Structure 1
Amino acid sequence: MTPSGPPQVVWFKRDLRVKDHAALARATAAGPVLCVYAVELEHWQQPCTSDRQWQFVRECLLSLDAQLQSLGTALEIHVTPIIQMLDALYQRLGPFTLHSHQETGGLWTYARDRAVAAWCRDHGVRWHEYPQSGVVRPVSRRGRRFKEHWDAWVAAPLERLPDHLSWIEPAEGQSVLRLPTAIKADPLPCAGRQRGGLQPAHELLDSFLASRGQGYGANMSSPISAEQGCSRLSPHIAHGSLSLRQIAQTMLQAREAAPRTHWHRQLHSYVTRLWWHCYALQVLENQPEMERQALVPEMEQLSRPMDMARFDAWRLGRTGWPMVDACMRLLHHHGWLNFRMRAMLVTVATHTLSLPWRPVADWLSQMFVDFEPGIHYTQIQMHSCMAASPVLRLYNPVTQARELDPQGEFVRRWVPELAAVPGEWIVMPWAMPATLRHRFGLEGANDYPVPLVDFEQMHRAVKAEIAALRSSLGLQAAPGFNERSRQGASSQRTPAPKQVNVKPSTQISLF
């Protein structure tokens, strides 16, 4: 039976798919549906966004439109602020019901969703929001350990569309042809960017299960092996071209089919990281101010002045530490980097080079095609010590190079200035005599810089500085959960305090 009733509007955000889409499934069961997406230009001018991200999203939107076309409708595009879009829809459709997924994003999208909630109240429009990750909103509803909640959420059946669908005709001239081809000027090209959409996502999932994931646990730490050995599904999870629950269920089914084997352990490790993914989102859900404020404000007393020469050397891959520069340049090219090397880039910037954490966070967020605010800001806070973690991780760039790239192949690929440097000098080219620098072409146009600071000396000073500050002020590490929780955008309930279940100091090593 074809559903009838008032118009149902599905607002797509970071959930660019049809399968396992709660908002779409519930809306199509309630009445005729219009599917819309708003290109919010103000959002794309925020310091955490980039055109490389938009290009991935644009491909996901084209894929989503094709999926909807196969169901008998199309995606209606509005290049306008969301409130203007809602006004136009209300004028055209009259009273309607709005459906969307909850979004644990940055402060801008949080404020946007609160504005949508206010608009809906003012216009008598019901807005149904559905979780699309293991995040609980509000946290007072959690009622169990987070891992137990996550396990139950993952085990729930995937959302299914009803057999009979009824659609509202999209407005003429508002098809995906309206999508901007570019949305802002990026500081650097991203020629090796991953492609968005359903087919590339399935290809990655299938190839990981078929072969690439066999060495997952061993391959994830090195930027050399991680490029193929990691699932590479992170941008698809961030923008929703596949649902996290669908990925988790697929991995769990494969794990159960391979009991007590090496493959079982690799899949278990991967599923564990999906758990931590949602836990990090929950931390941001509860403490959204961490995007711009230190979780332990007293840690801002650390001396971290802005030095543009140091910042430019770091962000452009010209620090003089080959492994650091190679990783930054790989990030420029691919818009992706494995987690351990992301952590190294943060600690080198905020500790070794003593740079302030906010511009570091902004630069990296622009570079990451898979930018996920919950993971990004949680880890920035941890690694820059703004969460006052008792475990201070300082990445020695020479040790990392010797451990992860002992032959220098990775460095030579991404830092071609060092292509002729022999292995005994590749991790510390600044130590070469001037005659050798000349012999290996490190002068003139191919000059490679010497490090701006002595990292061993700086690390000793940083450890002493942080220890002294923590001791003098009696600082404790920021909890993973506390009572300062954002309310659901459409909810007025105040969350109750909850106790942290996992020590924050263990979190940073488990993604």
Structure 2
Amino acid sequence: MTTVVWFKRDLRVTDHPALARAAARGDVVPLYVFEPEYWAEPDVSGRQFAFVRESIDDLSSALSRLGVPLVVRVGRVVDVLADLQARFGFDAVISHEETGSAWTFARDREVAAWCRDNSVAWEELAQSGVVRRLNGRDGWAKQRNAFLRQPQVDVPAGMTGPVVPSDDVPPLVAGDHCPERQLGGRQMALSFLGSFLTERGQHYRKDMSSPVTGEWSCSRLSPYLAFGCLSGREASQAAAARQREVKGTREGWGGSLKSFQARLAWRDHFMQKLEDEPALEHRCLHSAYEDMRPKVPDAERLAAWEKGETGIPFVDACMRYLAATGWMNFRMRSMLMAVASYHLWLDWRVTGLHLARQFTDFEPGIHWPQSQMQSGTTGMNTVRIYNPVKQGKDQDPTGVFTRRWCPELAPVPDAFLQEPWTWEGAGTLLGNAYPAPVVDVSEAAREARERVWAVRRGGAFRAEAQRVVHKHASRKGPQGHFVDDRAPRRRKASVSPAKDSRQMGFDF
């Protein structure tokens, strides 16, 4: 029996249930398909393409050592499968479940139809704590945690399979300038994991909020988890082993590793949201917000935000940093979306696409629920309107980050760096070397708050919000941990903002 293992966002051979299952059946054809239609989608970018190419090269080397080379093809998956079927025949396709975009969901349905029509069995296996066909969140954490505690799947000792030619892969998306992007591949993933658990992560809990300290102290594992160079189970179990090693020490490791494990759980929690309600990629989770912001954005404000030229220094510094690195720490990701949504009053669907392209670690299942949460359109989360001036002062107190990425502000004294419009010399700088702010920060926040809460006071708001809470809200105990067995306490006719609004932007 010959099995095609279809690799998608699982670019590794370690802890790979699909590969192990196929190897146990007989001959294996490992397959990765570069899909031109996917790389033409508006949420992908050159930095992601480059990362995947590097990860594919690493995966190919690993598979060759196991005895079967990776088959790399370019085209539609159903066309590739039809060609392989004609060449050597196979009776099964095995892959991992994917919580992806609407495009990948439609593609998977097309593959399922092809398999049915051609008498090919397609089996999809779980590779994360996300649960398919879930009816509600009661008990979800128990299932998720049980999966994470299972032993990792062994790498097959060796494999056999037919010799199948690969395609040359052309650049399928325009390159973008991201000089400080993380490199792809499992070897890089293991390097980041090891350095985080033994050195960089010691002060993770304290340092992860600031772009100044977070660049070093955050794990930086997000792109490797997003494309499956590393499994979530591997990361969780490695962290658990390190927790046992440092237990009882007073060096900061205990709290930091606990926080890291919590964020791994939150990662699955947010991906579960998109799995349960795929439409939230395109539609507000609570319908009352659907027409709150204009669908056609203010072009001037959008362009200023995208280029890091809003005239709000800390926002601009963060956006420029993101453009150059493909990464941003969690609090600043949230701030960028919140400023776009509230102060600039831009629709999350438009700004979310830009951020998706900027993030090397773009993961649809995290990105779109987070975009909505930070825009205040879920109906169950606390409305959090960041003050970007205060964030700049709190997270970059010395101004080193802001000055590095906004060198035009060199003449501005430290006391006025985050609000240069209050400096007496502003007239010579703003509108010349550096843009004047596109909005009045305080006034824009006040107006946004009034608009959002006006929607919440609508008569039909509460009933739909209850449905959203039942389907998507976290089930957490008093210390903020996910609860395995208990249903959430239900208060009569109450819809309180879910506490998961504190978890913002998943970068680890």
TM beyond 0.5: yes
- Is the 8 Å Cα contact of residues 413 and 419 (structure 1) preserved in structure 2? no
CA distance in 1 between counterparts of 2:418 and 2:497 reads 33
From 373, 395, 398, the equivalent of 2:389 is: 398
Q: CA deviation at 1:437?
A: 5.0
Q: Distance in 2 between matches of 1:10 and 1:168?
A: 13
The answer to whether the 8 Å contact 1:56/1:369 transfers is yes
Q: Which residue matches 2:419? A: 428
2:379 aligns to what SS in structure 1?
Answer: coil
Alpha-carbon RMSD across the aligned residues, in angstroms, is: 2.1
Residue 61 of structure 1 is matched in structure 2 by 56
Match of 1:284 in 2: 274
Matched, 1:147 2:141: yes
- Of 21, 26, 49, 2:21 maps to 26
2:292 to 284, 299, 302: 302
Does 1:92 pair with 2:80? no
Q: 2:177 aligns to what SS in structure 1?
A: coil
Match of 1:43 in 2: 38
Structure 1 residues 93 and 392, CA gap change in structure 2 (3 angstroms): same
Q: CA–CA distance in 2 between the matches of 1:385 and 1:322?
A: 24
The aligned counterpart of 1:109 is 104
Q: Flag structure 1 segments of 5+ consecutive residues without an equivalent.
A: 1-5, 484-497
Aligned equivalent of 1:468: 454
Contact kept? 2:381, 2:499, Cα under 8 Å: no
Q: Distance in 1 between matches of 2:397 and 2:255?
A: 27
Q: Does 1:482 align with 2:468?
A: no
Query: Are 1:184 and 2:173 matched, yes or no?
Result: yes
How many residues in Structure 1 have an aligned counterpart in Structure 2?
480
Give the TM-score normalised by structure 1.
0.90
**Which residue of 330, 342, 358 maps to 1:351?**
342
Quote the Cα distance in structure 1 between the aligned partners of 2:487 and 2:50: 40
> Are the counterparts in 1 of residues 285 and 372 from structure 2 also a CA contact under 8 Å?
yes
Task: Write the distance in 1 (CA, Å) between the matches of 2:488 and 2:461.
Answer: 17
- Segments ≥4 residues shifted beyond 6 Å: 498-504
Match of 1:383 among 360, 374, 386: 374
Distance 1:501 1:30, change over 3 A: farther
**Which of 324, 327, 334 matches 1:336?**
327
Structure 2 letter corresponding to 1:289: A
Q: Is 2:380–2:469's contact at 8 Å kept on the other side of the alignment?
A: no
Q: Say if 2:207 and 2:217, in contact at 8 Å, map to a contact too.
A: yes
8 A Cα contact 1:21 1:159, kept in partner:
yes
Q: Contact 1:99–1:128 (CA<8 Å) still a contact in 2?
A: yes
**Structure 1 residues 55, 287: CA separation in 2 closer, same or farther (over 3 Å shift)?**
same
Deviation string 1:260-300 (CA, Å, 9 cap, x unpaired) is 44312211110111011001111100000011111112212
1:507 aligns with 2:496: no
Task: After TM superposition, give the deviation of residue 253 of structure 1 in Å.
Answer: 1.0
What is the SS of the residue equivalent to 2:123?
Answer: strand
CA shift, 1:506, in A, is: 1.5
- Select the residue among 215, 229, 245 that pairs with 1:257: 245
Task: Look up the equivalent residue of 1:81 and give its one-letter code.
Answer: R
Q: Cα 1:504–1:11, aligned 2, differ >3 Å: closer, same or farther? A: farther
CA contact (8 A) 1:398 1:428 kept: yes
Q: In the alignment, which residue of structure 1 is the partner of 2:477?
A: none
How do 1:155-304 and structure 2 match up within 5 A?
155-171=149-165, 174=166, 178-180=168-170, 182-186=171-175, 188-261=176-249, 262-304=252-294
Partners in 1 of 2:411 and 2:61 — Cα distance?
Answer: 49
1:370 is aligned to 2:365: no
* Contact 1:28-1:161 at 8 Å conserved across structures: no
Contact 1:105–1:372 under 8 Å retained in 2: yes
Give 3-state SS (helix, strand or coil) of 2:471's partner. Answer: coil
Any idea what SS the aligned residue of 1:350 has? helix
Identity of aligned residues (%): 41
- Per the normalisation by structure 2, the TM-score is 0.90
Please give the secondary structure, in 2, of the residue aligned with 1:479: helix
> What is the rounded CA distance, in whole Å, between the counterparts of 1:202 and 1:462 in structure 2?
44
CA contact (8 A) 1:327 1:337 kept: yes
2:66·2:158 contact (CA, 8 Å) conserved in 1? no
Corresponding letter in the other structure for 2:289: M
Structure 2, unaligned stretches of length 5 or more?
473-485, 491-495
